[in-house]
Amino acid sequence: MTSPINGTVSREFDVDRTATSLYTNKTSTAAGTGDAADRDTFLKLLVAQLKYQDPSNPADSTQFLAQTAQFTQVEKLGKIADMLQAQQLIGASALVGRTVTYIDGDGARTTGVVTKTKLNGDSEPTLVVGNMDVPLSQVTEVQQNATPTPTTTTTTKES
């Protein structure tokens, strides 16, 4: 049997509390969650808020618009963060063959040539210098190699 409407929403359906805890949990977790899941969660919360609102005191439409705008803004910021990460990965790949100076595990400045780049998904790119894996954030200097790599050109003569 259902309980009569008494103008208050029980703690079980306290949407504001649920939304706040969901937002806190989402912002404290690592990046990489899907946009579709975030959108679905937002829409579920919105539907729950509209479904369980007090009929004598309905939700303010300006709050609804503000929440929608905030959600859109958070989505766009997530896309910007993804683009910045992609740019970081491209920059790390461009360092292959270059001489870099980095801070090693002992705190000493070490110099070597980057032989390859490891792209670790959502984490920071790693450069391989000699037999050391160096996080990109530890690189303090990048230099062009003193001896350029010779290029080979082939010319074909037309008859």
- Same domain assignment for residues 47 and 110: no
- How many angstroms separate the CA atoms of 7 and 58, rounded? 11
**151 within domain boundaries:** no
Is 16 a residue whose pLDDT tops 70? Answer: no
Which pLDDT band holds residue 17 (cuts at 50, 70, 90)? very low
**64 within domain boundaries:** yes
The encoded tokens of residue 124 equal 């920071």
Is 146 a residue whose pLDDT tops 80? Answer: no
Residue 24 lies in domain: 11-52+60-91
DSSP string computed for 38-103 = HHHHHHHHHHHHHHTS-TTSPPPHHHHHHHHHHHHHHHHHHHHHHHHHHHHHHHHHTTTTSEEEEE
- Same domain assignment for residues 15 and 85: yes
Is 78 a residue whose pLDDT tops 60? Answer: yes
Q: What is the pLDDT of residues 117-139, one digit of tens each?
A: 887 776 788 899 988 889 888 89
**123 within domain boundaries:** yes
**132 within domain boundaries:** yes
Residue with the bigger pLDDT between 51 and 101: it is 101
Is 27 a residue whose pLDDT tops 60? Answer: no
**159 within domain boundaries:** no
Domains of the chain: total: 2
pTM comes to 0.49
Looking up tokens 């309905």 gives 58
**135 within domain boundaries:** yes
Is 81 a residue whose pLDDT tops 50? Answer: yes
